Amino acid sequence: MPHTARVSVRDALGLRVAALDLLGGGQPDWPPCTARTWDVFLRTERCALALKSRLAGTRHEIEGAATRELQRILSARGQLLRIGQLARAHDIPAIVLKGGVAALTSATPVDLQDVDVLVRPLQAERFAELLDTEGFRGTGPAGTAHLAQRIVPNAVQIEVHFALNDVEVTEGMWNRARALDGVAGLSRLGAADHVWHLLVHSVLTHPHRRGALRDVLLTAEALVDCQPAELHEVEGRIAIHPLSDMLEAHLAMARELRDGVAIQDRFKREAAANYVLRGPLGWLGFSRFWSSAFVGALFSQLGGVVERRLEWQLAWQPPPFPSPWTFAAQLERRWPRLGKQCRNAVKLARLVVCRVVTWPVARAAIRLAS
């Protein structure tokens, strides 16, 4: 294998150390790395634009990735302006979520792959149909909290949300939403709700993004808008959550970044696991059936006993939604009790297999991180 094609997880971790030094206001010491290692690091952390803005000189590895990130951000801005005009014209309240807020309002936006907009459940289908009349088309399956993604050529995709994963959307959240300055038709979550959603999304909904530099940057940006009382409210939500340690660790990194002080890396193991999956194990290409279960099992192994116990309890719970698989859905309709029992059995078997398969990957990540 050519030298430039090799990926070193240890070198990628060295790049992460240097990046954290730079983001914390220090002088980074970039380790010598292959082009593939740089690629794995930048695809995982998605922070090239932030690094470029802080570099005294230039690095071609960062320059190329930063340009691609900026193109996606500009595309997202254009999509959001179109969405805002549509929402205003048809009097549909719409809340921009996560990275879309930074894309519209921040001088330091972060990379994003799609645009997330929350509308009320009874208006979600209508809003998606309005997008379709504007030239968008639905693609892929719907999720438990959003409709099928809407796409147009050469632009980031749009997800119309009617709910939020792992966060209850209450009337209070809608009442606390604030209009986005200069963007007619769109609002954003209140400051505390926005920070809480970012934490939950990065730490709980997508555990592989724990401590990812892009998500830490986005949370740090959201903290700037938080008043002390609002931040105290977020801390109260964290304190009563079973995975409070993980949530607090991610918040602490964001605070240090916001304050411009040295950033302590609290997610070395998670970073190492991500580099392993995208580097040495990138050729495996896990299927849709295994990917979410595999990733969940891997990061719960790294997360600790409490998370593994919660994962096991969740696997025992009856599924709240119909199966996306045709045969299983038909079985549930004809024999509901048997269908749910079969789905639970599959979930439990898959979890057991995933824990066995992920164990050596987790051990390798822990060894590399230490």
- Asked, for residue 113, whether it belongs to a domain, the answer is yes
**What one-character-per-residue DSSP string does 29-72 give?**
-PPP--HHHHHHHHHHH--HHHHHHH-SS--HHHHHHHHHHHHH
Domain-terminating residue out of 139, 173, 189:
189
Which pLDDT belongs to residue 311?
82
- Asked, for residue 356, whether it belongs to a domain, the answer is yes
- Does the structure show a pLDDT above 70 at 289? no
- Does the structure show a pLDDT above 80 at 342? no
Residue 293's pLDDT band (cuts 50, 70, 90)? confident
Which pLDDT belongs to residue 105?
92
Which pLDDT belongs to residue 182?
81
Average pLDDT over residues 93-122: 95
Domain-terminating residue out of 189, 217, 244:
189
In 3D, which of 154, 132, 128, 150 has the Cα closest to residue 140? 150
Domain count, the chain: 2
3-class state of residue 113 by DSSP: coil
Q: 112: domain range?
A: 73-189
- Asked, for residue 320, whether it belongs to a domain, the answer is yes
Which of 65-74, 110-119, 149-158, 308-317 is predicted with the least confidence, judged by mean pLDDT? 308-317
- Does the structure show a pLDDT above 70 at 287? no
Domain-terminating residue out of 168, 189, 210:
189
More confident residue, 316 or 52: 52
- Asked, for residue 279, whether it belongs to a domain, the answer is no
d(CA 137, CA 125): 13
- Asked, for residue 314, whether it belongs to a domain, the answer is yes
| CA count, 13 A, side-chain hemisphere, 217 | 27
Average pLDDT over residues 327-345: 65
Tens of pLDDT, residues 189-233:
999 999 999 999 999 999 999 999 999 999 999 999 999 999 999
Amino acid at site 256: E
Average pLDDT over residues 84-112: 95
- Does the structure show a pLDDT above 80 at 263? yes
Which pLDDT belongs to residue 2?
41
Here the CATH number for the domain that contains residue 130 is 3.30.460.40
- Asked, for residue 252, whether it belongs to a domain, the answer is no
* Number of Cβ atoms within 10 Å of the Cβ of 116: 23
Which pLDDT belongs to residue 216?
98
- Asked, for residue 349, whether it belongs to a domain, the answer is yes
Strand ranges (DSSP E) for the chain?
Answer: 95-96, 114-118, 137-139, 149-151, 157-161, 178-179, 187-188
Which pLDDT belongs to residue 3?
44
In 3D, which of 180, 256, 179 has the Cα closest to residue 213? 256
- Asked, for residue 82, whether it belongs to a domain, the answer is yes
Contact indicator for 50, 23 with CB cutoff of 8 Å: yes
Find all residues with CB under 8 Å of 249, minimum gap 6, and list them. Answer: 210, 211, 266, 267
Tens of pLDDT, residues 155-195:
999 999 999 999 999 999 999 999 998 889 999 999 999 99
